[in-house]
């Protein structure tokens, strides 16, 4: 199958119709730039795709392109009314993903090292677990459901969304510290608990972690202030394998 490399040049509607038929895409409209609007769902999962076969603009329903070999989201829709699912691909970047998503966003099981490029507001939950994230830079500012970023390599939680219902940051280096001052699940899951969320924001504001460096005296002071005292020596023993101690 020939992919449409230059979506806005020499539009071939017959070719677009053929690709839509191949992937059972119905109720679509071809736009002047060669992109398509879809009044329904798009299912492209498990097709061994290395790139998206069309340029999408607006999709009213859900957009599934999971379980492929995608290395780029070029051609992804600008807006999706439901879920956007790009799990289990080879993505190293979210550049090109929709900027409006009404439902959940699934980008877990890729090779992402940052979240730059993703929309700043997600209607549902956000799943970015099982990647290679070292930072939450680019993360949405608002997540309507759960923010799941477990099983990455996060050493800080700068850029954490301001609004979320629950947070799962387990199986990251930072989770060892989070468990020292939150009252929620010991695995690193923060439930819809206002006290825990306020403590997390206070922790971020104090700049206790700067890149990979842990300012241990600031952490000791923070834990003392909230009534969870722990010695400097204990902290160093607990965290020295994950952080440069200052």
pLDDT tens digits along 192-222? 678 888 999 999 999 999 988 999 999 999 9
Please tell me the distance from the alpha carbon of residue 153 to that of residue 173, in angstroms, as a whole number.
Answer: 6
At residue 4 the predicted structure's pLDDT band, cuts being 50, 70 and 90, is very low
CB-CB contact of 177 with 206 (8 Å): no
- Residue 163 CB coordination number (10 Å): 12
**Of residues 194 and 171, more confidently modeled:** 171
- Whether the pLDDT of residue 191 is over 80: the answer is no
The predicted model gives 175-194 an average pLDDT of 75
Q: Does residue 221 lie in a domain region? A: no
**Residue among 26, 48, 45, 24 at smallest CA distance from 37:** 26
Q: Does residue 214 lie in a domain region? A: no
Task: Check residue 173 and give its pLDDT.
Answer: 94
Q: Does residue 89 lie in a domain region? A: yes
**Of residues 2 and 225, more confidently modeled:** 225
Write out pLDDT tens, residues 36-92.
999 999 999 999 999 999 999 999 999 999 999 999 999 999 999 999 999 999 999
At residue 3 the predicted structure's pLDDT band, cuts being 50, 70 and 90, is very low
At residue 2 the predicted structure's pLDDT band, cuts being 50, 70 and 90, is very low
Render the burial of 106-121: b for 16+ CB within 10 Å, e for the rest: bbbbbebbbbeebbee
Task: Check residue 187 and give its pLDDT.
Answer: 56
Task: Check residue 6 and give its pLDDT.
Answer: 44
Q: Does residue 38 lie in a domain region? A: yes
Q: What is the CATH number of the domain that holds 114?
A: 3.80.10
CB-CB contact of 105 with 119 (8 Å): yes
CA atoms within 13 A on the CB side of 56: 35
Q: Does residue 108 lie in a domain region? A: yes
Q: Does residue 237 lie in a domain region? A: no
The predicted model gives 90-116 an average pLDDT of 96
Please tell me the distance from the alpha carbon of residue 49 to that of residue 179, in angstroms, as a whole number.
Answer: 40
Q: Does residue 30 lie in a domain region? A: yes
- Whether the pLDDT of residue 156 is over 70: the answer is yes
pTM of the predicted structure, to 2 decimals: 0.88
Q: Which domain holds residue 99?
A: 13-193
Average model confidence (pLDDT) for the chain?
91
Could you give the number of structural domains in the chain?
Answer: 1
Q: Does residue 53 lie in a domain region? A: yes
């Amino acid at each position: 199958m020939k992919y449409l490399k230059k979506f806005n040049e020499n539009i071939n509607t017959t070719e677009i119709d053929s690709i839509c038929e191949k992937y059972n895409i119905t109720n679509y409209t071809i736009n002047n730039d060669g992109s398509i609007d879809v009044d329904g769902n798009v299912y492209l999962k498990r097709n061994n795709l290395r790139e998206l076969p069309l340029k999408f603009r607006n999709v009213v329903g859900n957009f599934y392109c999971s379980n492929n070999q995608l290395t780029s989201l070029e051609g992804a829709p600008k807006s999706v009314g439901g879920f956007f699912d790009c799990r289990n691909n080879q993505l190293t970047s979210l550049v090109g993903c929709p900027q409006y998503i009404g439902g959940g966003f699934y980008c877990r099981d890729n090779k992402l090292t940052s979240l730059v490029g993703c929309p700043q507001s997600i209607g549902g939950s956000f799943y970015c677990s099982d990647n290679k994230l070292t930072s939450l830079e680019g993360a949405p500012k608002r997540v309507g459901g759960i923010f799941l970023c477990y099983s990455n390599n996060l050493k800080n939680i700068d850029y954490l969304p301001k609004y979320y219902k629950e947070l799962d940051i387990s199986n990251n280096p930072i989770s060892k510290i989070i468990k020292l001052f939150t009252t929620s699940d010991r695995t690193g899951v923060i439930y819809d608990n206002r006290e825990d969320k306020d403590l997390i924001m206070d922790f971020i504001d104090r700049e206790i972690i700067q890149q990979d460096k842990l300012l241990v005296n600031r952490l000791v002071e923070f834990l003392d202030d909230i009534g969870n005292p722990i010695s400097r020596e204990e902290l160093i023993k607990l965290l020295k394998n994950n952080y440069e101690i200052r």
